[in-house]
């Protein structure tokens, strides 16, 4: 027997015809500005599309050639190494998010102290990095990291009372030997992005902290729990459900943090701080390899899809 | 009285019939993209105002784009069918632009009589496959720019240069802020015998030991704490203007601003001879040119060509020469009174013409990477130049669709 909920698609369309008329204009716009470019890019990724094909879009079909070039590091570009960039991007993401979360929660807990003087003032001050457009902050940090005239080296010189010339953005070697793949510029990028990123985590943590009733802490105090125990047994478990989505968001944001990398270190020196999105940009500009860049974009898409699926699974597990 | 009025009225009515007969010029808007700044930009703006006064029907919009973004911006926009009417850029862009059909041939707009007033070498450089693809505004090359109050005796070769710099550098004054960009330091690569291309336009930068010699030389400079060796144009530029750098490498386009900042302390001379081979510094000699967009219609092209004729006229080039120290392409410009230009002209004698073939575009970044990786001790000079050769050839092959 045919169940009533099992009616055919055309029947459904017919019954809700008016609704489809309503969404038709926006559906057409979406098809033009979203669906078409995506499909066009997928087509481009299988061709040797280059600058001359922009007006004469008849490039040669190269099959999986672009993907093979990327995975075997045969893209004709300086310092191109897909696997190194991918590994660096993962390391970049997790080191950043770890620092964002620990600094954010610490500050939130500190500012949540009852009867703290000037609490509102501190909170405003700490949210400023988040309020300034990130490309402006990034450009200011870039200048502060100049080896001869940057504020960072000058302040360090004054504090240590000696000439400090850390080649933040120019030396591709590793200052810390146990991480041989992290150049000085990585630490410059990291400092900038931590400064930019912790306020978000702090705001989320503050919101979650304020929803914890004081009675719980008072009860714990009566039971003789010390401060450390209160933090790990009460605070952390109770803000966990608020922090997890924020952390997942932070992972995706940092993985694609174009502004900081591109403006502070420019992916350099010698490509040591390149992440996937900045490399994708450079394949087109100045590389001019549109076909390879499309394939690269698809690869980044699948990596992010995987991250999102894992994210969804973890967050659902916490519900 | 009435009769007078009547006559006036009739005259007014009759003359009004003829109003439509006088050919009224169509309004034209021209857009020009360039990377001129400082004194050059002032001259450009003056010239535009003057041209608009002479031709009220023409409006000219200028847009300044940072030099390192200008080529890509134009390439992307023009390839998609847009872009400005006129572009100002160096001649080595011609090959790629012409191959991608982004710039118009100018053969039909400039006749032999007009071209007779221009430096033949400059006109020769803008020809691609026999067609004139751009119009030269000025010629340029890099040379040694020095502050006369800090440098008394010019060094003859690179050994003397090192000794001199070591004696000048003190406190926050530097003897030489050496720009290690490939364009700026290319003169020493050619002085040591390096070649870019063979007769089929394939890369041969690692043949012979020229590349290795120059990279070793640069590494020695960088390891001397008295030198600042950095691929940082802005730093060299601002230190020189502040009088904190005794010597830098730069081109004529910057001198106008230096004279503004330091007055007659600015001197220009050929770079010291490369001591190891005894050959002179051989910088790229290039023209700065006006390009016309291939996408615009014939009326616009005609208007663009007319404006370019005005920009390269004796009067405008004289202003570019006097205020911005451009070395004019127009032979009628009077340059006799200027020792600064003399320094660049002297340096040009030992220069090499910049290749304008499309393959040239593949050279810049790999050579820069070779320099940077040697300066950072990431590669030996030999490995660095081998890698550069491979990357350049890969890029050339990719652009040929191989």
Which residues does B304 contact at the CB level (< 8 Å), separation at least 6? Answer: B30, B85, B86, B292, B293, B296
Distance from CA of A47 to the nearest CA of B (A): 11
What is the C-alpha to C-alpha distance for residues A108 and B86, in angstroms, rounded to an integer?
A: 56
* Digit-coded pLDDT (tens) for B54-92: 999 999 999 999 998 899 899 889 988 899 999 999 999
A vs B, Cβ pairs < 8 A, gives 66
What is the C-alpha to C-alpha distance for residues B356 and A90, in angstroms, rounded to an integer?
A: 42
Q: What angle do CA A148, A151, A153 make, to 5 degrees?
A: 55
pTM of the model: 0.80
Lowest pLDDT segment from B17-21, B250-254, B313-317 = B17-21
Q: How high is the pLDDT of residue A6?
A: 64
Burial state string for B32-63 with b = 16 or more CB within 10 A and e = fewer than 16: bbbbbbbbbeebbeebbeebeeebeebebebe
Average confidence (pLDDT) over B209-233: 91
Average confidence (pLDDT) over B344-365: 90
* Digit-coded pLDDT (tens) for A191-241: 999 999 999 999 999 999 988 888 888 888 888 888 888 888 888 888 888
Cβ-contact A264, A256 below 8 angstroms:
no
Q: Which residues from A are below 8 Å from B372, CB to CB?
A: 172, 268-270
Contacts 24+ apart (CB under 8 A), A244-250: A244/A314, A244/A315, A244/A318, A245/A315, A246/A200, A246/A201, A246/A204, A247/A97, A247/A101, A247/A201, A248/A311, A248/A314, A248/A315, A250/A96, A250/A97, A250/A100, A250/A101, A250/A197, A250/A200, A250/A201
Q: Which residues from B are below 8 Å from A171, CB to CB?
A: 376
* Helix (DSSP H) and strand (DSSP E) numbers for chain A: 15, 0
Q: How high is the pLDDT of residue B383?
A: 94
Name which of A54, A170, A172 is nearest B80 (Cβ-Cβ).
A54
Q: Which residues from B are below 8 Å from A173, CB to CB?
A: 376-378
- Name the pLDDT band for B309 (thresholds 50, 70, 90): very high
Q: Please tell me if residue A266 touches chain B, with a CB cutoff of 8 Å.
A: no
Which residues does A107 contact at the CB level (< 8 Å), separation at least 6? Answer: A126, A198, A202
For B230, name the nearest residue in chain A, comparing CA atoms only. A170
- Name the pLDDT band for B8 (thresholds 50, 70, 90): low
Cβ-contact A126, A199 below 8 angstroms:
yes
Q: Please tell me if residue A76 touches chain B, with a CB cutoff of 8 Å.
A: yes
Share of chain B above pLDDT 70, in %: 94
Q: How high is the pLDDT of residue A1?
A: 46
Q: Please tell me if residue B369 touches chain A, with a CB cutoff of 8 Å.
A: yes
CB contact under 8 A, B72 and A285: yes
The more confident residue out of A119 and B217 is: B217
Interface of B with A in 173-232 (CB under 8 A): 228, 230
The more confident residue out of B262 and B22 is: B262
Q: Which residues from B are below 8 Å from A74, CB to CB?
A: 394
Does B134 have pLDDT greater than 90?
yes
Q: Please tell me if residue B99 touches chain A, with a CB cutoff of 8 Å.
A: yes
Overall size of chain A counted in residues? 319
Q: Please tell me if residue A51 touches chain B, with a CB cutoff of 8 Å.
A: yes
* Digit-coded pLDDT (tens) for B258-304: 999 998 899 999 999 999 999 999 999 999 999 999 999 999 999 99
Q: How high is the pLDDT of residue B400?
A: 79
Q: Please tell me if residue A79 touches chain B, with a CB cutoff of 8 Å.
A: yes
Which residues does A276 contact at the CB level (< 8 Å), separation at least 6? Answer: A85, A86, A89, A255, A256, A296, A299, A300, A303
CB contact under 8 A, A269 and B376: yes
Average confidence (pLDDT) over B342-360: 89
Q: How high is the pLDDT of residue A211?
A: 87
Mean pLDDT per 10-residue segment, chain A (319 residues): 64 83 92 93 91 79 91 89 93 94 92 83 87 89 89 93 87 86 92 93 91 87 86 88 87 90 89 92 85 93 87 68
Q: How high is the pLDDT of residue A309?
A: 85
Q: How high is the pLDDT of residue A20?
A: 87
Q: How high is the pLDDT of residue A45?
A: 94
H helix or E strand, kind and range, residue A103:
helix A82-111
Distance from CA of A153 to the nearest CA of B (A): 15
Q: How high is the pLDDT of residue A317?
A: 55
């Amino acid at each position: 027997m045919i169940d009533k909920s099992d009616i055919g698609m055309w029947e459904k369309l017919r019954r809700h015809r008016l609704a489809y008329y309503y969404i038709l204009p926006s559906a057409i716009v979406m098809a033009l500005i979203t669906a078409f470019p995506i499909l066009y890019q997928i087509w481009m990724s299988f061709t040797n599309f280059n600058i001359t094909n922009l007006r004469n879009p008849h490039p040669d079909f190269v099959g999986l050639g672009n993907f093979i070039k990327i995975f075997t590091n045969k893209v004709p570009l300086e310092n191109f190494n897909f696997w190194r960039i991918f590994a660096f991007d993962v390391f970049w993401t997790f080191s950043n998010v770890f620092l964002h979360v620990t600094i954010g929660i610490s500050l939130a807990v500190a500012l949540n102290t009852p009867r703290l003087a000037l609490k509102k003032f501190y909170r405003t001050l700490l949210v400023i990095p988040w309020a300034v457009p990130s490309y402006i902050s990034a450009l200011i940090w870039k200048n502060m990291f100049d080896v001869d005239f940057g504020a960072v080296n000058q302040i360090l010189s004054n504090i240590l009372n000696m000439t400090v010339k850390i080649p933040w953005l120019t030396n591709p070697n590793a200052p810390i030997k146990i991480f041989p793949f992290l150049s000085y510029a990585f630490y410059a990028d990291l400092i900038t992005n931590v400064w930019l990123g912790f306020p978000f985590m702090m705001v989320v943590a503050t919101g979650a902290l304020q929803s914890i009733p004081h009675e719980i802490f008072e009860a714990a105090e009566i039971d003789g729990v010390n401060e450390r125990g209160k933090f790990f047994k009460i605070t952390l478990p109770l803000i966990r459900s608020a922090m997890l989505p924020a952390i997942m968001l932070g992972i995706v944001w940092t993985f694609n943090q174009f502004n900081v990398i591109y403006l502070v270190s420019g992916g350099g020196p010698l490509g040591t701080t390149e992440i996937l999105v900045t490399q994708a940009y450079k394949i087109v500009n100045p590389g001019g390899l549109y076909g390879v860049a499309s394939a690269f974009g698809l690869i980044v898409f699948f990596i992010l899809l995987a991250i999102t699926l894992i994210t969804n699974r973890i967050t659902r597990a916490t519900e | 009285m009435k009769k007078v009025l009547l006559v006036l009225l009739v005259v007014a009515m009759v003359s009004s019939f003829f109003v439509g007969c006088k050919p009224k010029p169509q309004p034209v808007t021209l857009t020009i993209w360039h990377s001129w700044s400082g004194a050059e930009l002032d001259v450009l703006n003056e010239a535009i105002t003057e041209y608009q006064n002479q031709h009220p029907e023409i409006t000219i919009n200028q847009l300044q784009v940072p030099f390192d973004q200008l080529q890509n911006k134009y390439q992307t926009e023009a390839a998609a069918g847009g872009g400005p009417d006129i572009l100002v850029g160096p001649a080595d862009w011609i090959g790629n632009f012409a191959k991608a059909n982004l710039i118009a041939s100018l053969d039909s707009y400039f006749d032999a009589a007009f071209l007779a007033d221009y430096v033949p070498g400059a006109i020769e450089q803008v020809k691609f496959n026999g067609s004139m693809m751009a119009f030269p505004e000025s010629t340029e090359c890099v040379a040694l720019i020095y502050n006369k109050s800090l440098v008394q005796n010019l060094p003859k070769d690179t050994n003397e240069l090192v000794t001199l710099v070591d004696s000048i550098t003190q406190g926050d004054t530097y003897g030489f802020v050496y720009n290690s960009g490939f364009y700026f330091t290319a003169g020493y690569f050619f002085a040591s015998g390096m070649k870019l291309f063979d007769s089929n336009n394939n890369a041969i930068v690692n043949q012979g030991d020229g590349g290795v010699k120059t990279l070793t030389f640069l590494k020695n400079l960088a390891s001397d704490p008295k030198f600042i060796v950095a691929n940082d144009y802005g730093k060299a530029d601002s230190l020189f203007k502040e009088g904190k750098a005794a010597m830098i490498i730069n081109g004529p386009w910057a001198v106008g601003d230096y004279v503004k900042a330091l007055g007659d302390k600015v001197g220009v001379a050929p770079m010291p001879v490369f001591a190891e081979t005894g050959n002179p510094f051989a910088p790229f000699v290039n023209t700065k040119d006006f390009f016309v967009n291939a996408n615009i219609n014939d009326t616009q092209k005609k208007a663009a060509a007319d404006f370019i004729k005005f920009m390269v006229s004796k009067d405008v080039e004289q202003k570019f020469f006097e205020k911005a120290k451009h070395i004019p392409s127009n032979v009628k410009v009077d340059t006799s009174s200027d020792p600064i230009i003399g320094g660049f002209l002297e340096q040009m004698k030992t220069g090499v013409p910049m290749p304008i073939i499309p393959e040239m575009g593949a050279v810049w970044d790999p050579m820069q990477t070779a320099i940077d990786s040697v300066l950072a001790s990431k590669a030996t000079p030999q490995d660095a130049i081998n890698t550069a050769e491979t990357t350049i050839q890969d890029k050339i092959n990719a652009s040929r669709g191989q």
